[in-house]
């Protein structure tokens, strides 16, 4: 077995789509996902799990009905389960997420931004 580190920059360079998370690893029943985001996502919530966001590059705003949080590179935020939220980035932002493998990106909402089958890169 060959052991190799995962290079975030190299993985982000493999795709250009926005709001289309890619899987780069799995630990137990959790997927390590990366994504490029810009503009508004949809308001949604995850009733069964918290959602962790780490910013790699750019600035991410996470709107919640009771306020908002801004994340810069090297910062993270955990949206508690059941909290309705909407990620937003004025300019392209690169994010890292850790989520149970059954988590759908749009949570309780099904629309044209929903991705049920994730690509591994």
Query: pLDDT tens digits for 40-96?
Result: 999 999 999 999 999 999 999 999 999 999 999 999 999 999 999 999 999 999 999
pTM: 0.92
Give residue-wise pLDDT tens across range 1-40. Answer: 789 999 999 999 999 999 999 999 999 999 999 999 999 9
CA distances for 112 relative to 63, 74, 109, 121, angstroms: 20, 30, 10, 22
The CATH number of the domain where 70 resides is what? 2.60.120.10
The pLDDT score that the predictor gives to residue 108 is 83
Give residue 55's domain range. 36-120
The structural domain count of the chain equals 1
The answer as to whether 14 is a domain residue is no
Residue 24 lies in a domain: no
């Amino acid at each position: 077995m060959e052991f190799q580190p995962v290079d975030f920059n190299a993985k982000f360079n493999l795709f250009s789509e926005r709001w289309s998370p890619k899987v780069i690893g799995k630990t137990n029943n959790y997927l390590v996902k990366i994504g490029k985001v810009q503009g508004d996502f949809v308001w949604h919530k995850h009733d069964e799990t918290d959602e962790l966001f780490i910013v790699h590059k750019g600035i991410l705003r996470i709107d919640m009905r009771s306020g908002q949080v801004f994340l810069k590179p090297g910062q993270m935020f955990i949206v508690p389960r059941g909290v309705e939220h909407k990620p937003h980035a004025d300019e392209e932002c690169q994010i890292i997420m850790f989520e149970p493998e059954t988590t759908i990106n749009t949570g309780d909402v099904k629309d044209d931004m929903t991705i049920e089958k994730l690509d591994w890169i």
